[in-house]
Structures are given as structure tokens and as C-alpha cells.
Amino acid sequence: MSEILLEMRDVSKTFPGVQALDHVSLKIKKGSVHALMGENGAGKSTLMKCLFGIYKMDSGEILLENQPVNIKDTQEALTLGIAMVHQELQSIPERNIAENIFCGRYPIKKVAYVKMIDHKKMMEDTEKLLSEINLKLSPKTKLADLSVSQRQSVEIAKAISCSAKVVIMDEPTSSLSEHEVKALFDIIQRLKENGTSIIYISHKIEEILKIADEVTIMRDGAYVGSWPSTELTTDRIIQKMVGRELTNRYPLRKSHPQEVILQVEDLTSSDPKSFKNISFELRKGEILGIGGLVGAQRSELMEGIFGMRAIAGGQITYKNKILKVRRPRDAISKGIALLSEDRRAMGIFGVLSIFDNVTVASLDHHLILKTILNKKSLNEVVHESIDKMSIKAPSAKSLIQNLSGGNQQKVIISRWLANGPDILILDEPTRGIDVGAKYEIYTIMEDLVAQGKSIIMISSEMSELIGMSDRILVMCEGRTSGLLDAAMATQENIMMLATKYM
């Protein structure tokens, strides 16, 4: 454990208007799990992208096994034995699992002097990899047919398949169930025993204290320090991450739910494997939490209400009128907004600016004579959103893909608020976001319900459900298994309901 396998020295990186990394150094021991922590925007992912060859360092050097290396691109990083599991999935949805894992390095065989892809070997090797991570799927399954958690597991299998010396895992458990997290930790333990080093980026402090050998903390693009995990506590990590004491993880709840604004009765999906006979009520000025394990059909239910999935039966009553939603545009026009779980695939327009991402859903509200966009009013909306949401960016013209996860989330919330909704459906609103940014999102949510907005929040973090919800609806295998008052809820009774039908 004392042998240094990888070292990064005085690494700096600047983007237009932003000093992303400021002379950061990092030492990784052989066969260890080294956690990299910090608030969103601290530079963790940027540092790892420099290591993996996605970004070119402005200055600094990298040593692998005491030898200087110049990593020009990701292919060279893989050749050197450095693999990365990205926070935002890098899968190819229309190809199968095997093709995703071996993309760019397919096994080859010769047939009559002609080189061909050895599909049989690829399928056999994929089956072994999937077995290692306890993922019971056929290698021929198309990625588009998998859940977010299953696609995340495929990315982990892909990294393992490279026989890497160093595996970078950027928020690898953000979409995994408790069972899947345990399977991942078992894999990490086997990798450690084989001498592989893991660089583990996560905002889940309890997870870090359980699995990491050492912890490095960054703040505002700079190195704060490194410590053995045994010397750290949750409070000490938070204090070093944010540079101050953070006494409360959730804002004081002051909301007073009023009359019922949305009523769902016996809602059933047209997909027989999805949700069935779901009933619940949402009140004005309420945060209704939706709990359950991966596969409980929570996201699918919300997509059905929003018009993204076909409904076979049941009824939705909104403001005392029967609501017919056949497509998302119908829901949006009625004042319902949906912030999806997968930010990159279904949330942000990565190649567009903050300005474009904020205004894209409300352009109809800023027309002169119903034909010409009112640039002045659009600018006012965008700059008001940046100020109110404390969005950290050089300007409104900055590309959203260059922002941290927390700031991207604030932009998407701003987009829907610009449309004046009465109901916001937030699917894993703090996924991949640090404790400081989480508190800001929670404060925004509390302010919205105080204004009379209603929020439905899907969350896999039970402490978040309890800390931010007025009531918690728990689902299991597509059905409602219980409804709890958050003030009386515990993690134990939520988990009991989440496994009720299993």
C-alpha cells in the first residue's frame, strides 16, 4: 500500500474566464481506493479528465510507476492502463451490451486470410464480465432497453475489461440500488487485491468513509489536503469541502400544505411490466416524496403523468378538472413541469448556452405580435434566474456543458420556472451534487412551496426524503406499498415498504 503508482504534480487548467485547476497535486498508492471529494465546481472531474486525456493540461506533469507520461488522448490513457467510468454515461444506446463494452477494441479472428470480428468470443467475454458484477442480462441486450442503473453497471464492466492499473470512478453509485452498490464494492475489493488502484469521486460521505483508504479534498480548483479515511468524520469532511461549518443539511421546513391540487386514481401504464393502479393526492404548497428501490417504476409513473408514456387506465384530476395528457406539451400548457433523472440525455442541451437552456421552454411567452422574440424580456428572465439561483458561470453565453452538475441543475429548474408551472416533478434532483449545492437546491424547493407551488420529488436517498418531504409515497414493483407522514417516517419503515412485494 505504500508504493506510489500514480502521481499528478502542479496540474493547472483554464477555461475561458474560469481557473478550473490551480496547481493541483495528487498521489495514488498501488492497490488502494483513493477518494476525491469537493463541492461541484471544485475541479475533481476536470482533474480526472486531464488524467484520462480528455483535456490537455496547461501545466503540470503526470508520473505512472515513477515514469513521466504524456497522455494526449483517451486511447493512450487506456493503453497505459488508465480507465474511467464517467458520471454522465458514455454509452451508445442503439448498440448491444457487448458492442458497448468492446467498442474500438473488438476481438478479431482470421477467416480465410480475412480479419473479422470474433462475435462468439466477444459474447463469451461479456457474459463473464456481467457475471463478475452480478448483472443478469444477455450480452445482446440493447443499451436503450436498460435502466440508468443498468447502463451504469455496463460502464463499470467496460472499465474492468481493460485490465487497468488505475480505474477512475466518477459518481459510480449515483443511480445504483443498495444491492448493486454492494456488488460494486465487492468488485472494488477484488480489484484492490489484484493491485489495481481506484480513484473514487463521490458526494456520498458515508460511502467514502466505508470504502476509501485515503481522501483528497479540493475546493475552488485548488488542493486542500489528503488524509487517511480513518482520521476523518462526516462533519470534518463537510467543513473542509465547503470551507465553513454546515450545521444543517436541510433548510427549516415552513410550508403549510393546503387544498388538493392533483388527484391520481388507479393510474395504470399501457406497459404490463410497469406501474399499475396507482392512486395519490398532491396538495398545494406540498413536497410529496416518492420512495422505492430501483425498478419500482417511480420515474415511469411520473413520465406517464407528464405525457411521456401511454396510459391504459385510471384518471388524473387537476384543479378539479379531469386532465387529459397525451404528450408533454399538454402537461406543460397546464402548468406541470418535469425535471428528469438523466440530466445529460433528457435535461440539458449541452452544445447550447445557459441563455438558450433557460428560455427554450418559454419562448411563446416572449413574443411581440406573436411572431418576433422579445430579446429584452428574455435577457431579463435569464439574468434574473442567474441571480436568484446563484448560478456560477462567466456569463449567460457560457455553454451549459461546461458547468458543474449543481449549476446545470439550477439552469434546468430555471427553465421550468420561466414557464410559470404550478407543479414541479423533480426526479432525483440532487443526483451527483455536493452537500453545499444540495442545500441550495433544497432552499429553492422550500421557497417554491412557500409561494404555493407543489413539488413531487423522487429520491433514492432516504434521508433526503425524510428531510424534505411533507409526505412520502413508497412504491414497490410498480404498485403503491404505503404512504407515510415524513415527520413520523424512518429509514427502516421506508425500506420495509419498499420491499413489501418482494
HSE (side-chain half, CA atoms, 13 Å) at 398: 21
Confidence (pLDDT) at 408: 86
Model pLDDT for residues 181-205, shown as the tens digit of each residue: 887 888 888 888 888 899 999 878 8
Write the single-letter amino acid at 96. N
Confidence (pLDDT) at 2: 58
SS3 for 184-253 is: HHHHHHHHHHCCCEEEEECCCHHHHHHHCCEEEEEECCEEEEEEEHHHCCHHHHHHHHHCCCCCCCCCCC
What is the percent of the chain where pLDDT is above 90? Answer: 44
What is the percent of the chain where pLDDT is above 70? Answer: 95
Residue 312 sits at φ, ψ, to 5 deg, of -90, -30
Model pLDDT for residues 176-186, shown as the tens digit of each residue: 767 778 878 88
The lowest-confidence range among 13-17, 314-318, 487-491 is 13-17
For residues 240 and 251, give the distance between their C-alpha atoms in angstroms, rounded to a whole number: 21
Model pLDDT for residues 356-386, shown as the tens digit of each residue: 999 988 888 888 888 888 889 999 999 988 8
- Average pLDDT over every residue of 443-452: 91
Fold entry, domain 4-242: Rossmann fold (3.40.50)
What is the grid cell recorded at 454? Answer: 407543489
What is the grid cell recorded at 429? Answer: 434532483
Task: Assign 232 a pLDDT band (cuts: 50, 70, 90).
Answer: very high
Q: Which CATH architecture group holds 248-335+422-502?
A: 3-Layer(aba) Sandwich (3.40)
Confidence (pLDDT) at 34: 97
Confidence (pLDDT) at 246: 56
Confidence (pLDDT) at 175: 64
- Average pLDDT over every residue of 471-497: 89
Does the pLDDT of residue 88 top 70, yes or no? no
Confidence (pLDDT) at 1: 45
Any idea where the domains of the chain sit in the sequence? 4-242, 248-335+422-502, 352-420
Task: Assign 502 a pLDDT band (cuts: 50, 70, 90).
Answer: very low
For residues 49 and 15, give the distance between their C-alpha atoms in angstroms, rounded to a whole number: 13
pTM for the structure as a whole: 0.62
For residues 352 and 371, give the distance between their C-alpha atoms in angstroms, rounded to a whole number: 23
Confidence (pLDDT) at 429: 86
- Average pLDDT over every residue of 392-400: 87
Model pLDDT for residues 114-169, shown as the tens digit of each residue: 899 999 999 999 998 888 777 789 999 999 888 766 887 788 788 878 878 999 99
Model pLDDT for residues 346-364, shown as the tens digit of each residue: 778 888 899 999 998 888 8
Model pLDDT for residues 301-334, shown as the tens digit of each residue: 999 999 999 999 999 999 999 998 989 989 988 9
3-state secondary structure of 354: helix
Does the pLDDT of residue 257 top 70, yes or no? yes
Does the pLDDT of residue 11 top 90, yes or no? yes
The lowest-confidence range among 334-338, 412-416, 437-441 is 437-441
Helix 405-417 vs helix 435-450: angle between axes, to the nearest 10 degrees? 10
Same fold, 4-242 and 248-335+422-502: yes
- Average pLDDT over every residue of 443-456: 92
For residues 133 and 200, give the distance between their C-alpha atoms in angstroms, rounded to a whole number: 17
Confidence (pLDDT) at 244: 60
Does the pLDDT of residue 224 top 90, yes or no? yes
The lowest-confidence range among 213-222, 301-310, 400-409 is 400-409
Confidence (pLDDT) at 155: 83
What is the grid cell recorded at 434? Answer: 455536493
